[in-house]
Amino acid sequence: MVLNPVIGKLVSKRVVLASASPRRQEILTNVGLRFEVVPSWFKETLEKSSFAAPYEYAIETAKQKALEVANRMHLVSLSAISIVRSCVCVAVGKQILEKPVDKQDAYKMLSRLSGKEHSVFTGVAIVHCSNNRLETEVTDFYEETKVKFAELSEELLWEYIHSGEPMDKAGGYGIQALGGMLVEYVHGDFLNVVGFPLNHFCKKLAELYYPPLKHTIQHVKHDSIPSVETFENLSDGESDSSNPLQHKSANTLEANGVPLSGASGVRDYPAKFPSKIVELTDGFRASKALFVASKLKVFDLLKDKCVLKAVDVANKIEASVCGTERLLDACASLGLLEKTHQGDFYCRTIPVTRGVRLEDLFTSVLKEVLLGVWVASSMTFHQGRRLHHCLKAALNDSCYHTVEAKQHFMTAMHSIAKLTARDVATAFDLSPFRSVCDLGGCTGVLAHELVQKYPNLNVTVFDLPDVIANVSCFQPSGQHITSVMFTAGDFFKDNLPEADLYILSLILHDLNDEKIHILLSKISAICKPGSALLLAEIVLDEEKTHPSRGVLQSLSMTEGKQRNGSEYKQLLEKYGFTNVQIKITGNILDAILGFKKTSAR
């Protein structure tokens, strides 16, 4: 077998597949390759028209995805690793076919392929990272396979479309499943169409190891791993409405590439996502999670046990089950622990921590200086107490209720909203709505973004009196927006303004079940059939390990919790909201939209 000569060498190396695709994982596993899976966060948003040929786009996308993972992993580890990533694109001539946006789009796409031959290109990038993070070696290649569709009848087309399979496939079909019935012949590597050109990949590995061919490798030296903008302001679908470079408000001017405020005056500089700062912030949280777990001797406990439930760990360390589960999820998301597919078991620590008492690595100075307030959070795991109660035990809490402190809090929320508002406002088509109530909308950044996107929309920001009293400090001087109103009130106690759409941004994750019941019951009661509720929150994956930012943030929360998509869907459905849609934006916050169900007749 072509991979046999190098499989022995790869066993001793750390290999990472930068893709969550089960098809790629299955192909590589079947040939005996052992690897870790670390999905890339880089969005496929490169401008396709800038590439002379489709295969160039596929190669560059694969390379950027692999480099993003290399950059992220080298922030926490200097071990030598090889990152593998591929990108598949379907092309007719020079035009690349995307995933269909709906059934009608799938019909147009498949009709275009009917009876014709098209190309499937896969770009593959292999990034070798040495222990020295200043140097990487990049090997890339592409594979082309020709595929010809049979003449497809209307009946067959719609039968396939209604199966749902085309909706998440580039080109609108999956050859390894039902889509195979559409194909008349394949010229080239069949697995390339499935998702990974195995034969070419194996030959490339053989070239690299016996010995490397210098002309196939780009030796790149940098002051750091090449920087990749991980979080894009574009949606996965790359629609015009979600692209801030293509969709510009008529009121937005631009001089020398610098956006200026239009007549409305509400938009200054569009905030660029500070990925590097966020990565460093996450690193701070990650280290504190490691310190707290070590302080509670979690690693000492798990190194002697094969599998334990969260409740078992909680009992062993005499901690609250809720707090322990959050801590274990955080450690699993960081790769410090292993978690089984059942979701409620935590395996023994992996080699990075196995056999090492991390507690012995921390001096008293590290504990006192680096842990700081976060050490106090270990009390939340032991006793299930709210974090702010623990903070009172560690620090003088009197400053948190000053005018200056409230101003700092509003400034922080204002800054977060400036980074996230555009992606939240454009996550879904909100044009059918005429009135919006942003509950807890603080300084109104999202409200202003909404009226920029939908000029006919009237938005009410409903927040506490102390917040509304200070909103003027954050508004553009000398400018007024009549379609945005600020109303003071407490959404737990006071009547809510009437609206077609209600928004809760960064609210639900911080509330306990009782408060959520009160709030969602009030919103559900005032909503008319056809009205909707939009949530802006971090949406965890089903295993609650990604994004690690959301898992880590849960460690410093008070009464609430972070949720995955299924949990948000169930929560909204419980209060009468159906057709729940979830949009992973790639920004800090994701979006969840649910519609108030109509009355049964």
DSSP character for 306?
S
Which H, E and C letters describe 457-499, residue by residue?
Answer: CEEEEEECHHHHHCHHHHCCCCCCCCCEEEEECCCCCCCCCCC
**Angle, alpha carbons 41-46-49 (nearest 5°):** 165
Neighbours of 566 (CB within 10 A): 13
- SS3 state at 90: strand
- SS3 state at 517: helix
- Contact at 8 Å (CB) between 267 and 447? no
- Which residue, among 419, 399, 440, has the nearest Cα to 535 in the 3D structure? 440
Q: Residue 330 and residue 290: Cα distance in Å, rounded?
A: 9
Beta pairing class for 484-488 and 501-505: unpaired
- Which residue, among 166, 147, 150, has the nearest Cα to 158 in the 3D structure? 166
Query: Is 509 known to be catalytic?
Result: yes
> 389 vs 165, 212, 259, CA distance in Å?
51, 59, 45
Q: How many residues does the chain have?
A: 601
Neighbours of 264 (CB within 10 A): 20
Q: Residue 167 and residue 224: Cα distance in Å, rounded?
A: 38
| Contacts (Cβ under 8 Å, ≥6 apart) of 122 | 58, 86, 87, 88, 89, 142, 143, 192, 195, 196, 197
- Which residue, among 142, 140, 141, has the nearest Cα to 119 in the 3D structure? 142
Q: Which of 247, 509, 517, 546 is catalytic?
A: 509
- SS3 state at 375: helix
- Which residue, among 366, 344, 351, has the nearest Cα to 294 in the 3D structure? 366
> 107 vs 164, 181, 286, 493, CA distance in Å?
12, 16, 46, 50
Q: Residue 196 and residue 52: Cα distance in Å, rounded?
A: 23
Catalytic residues: 509
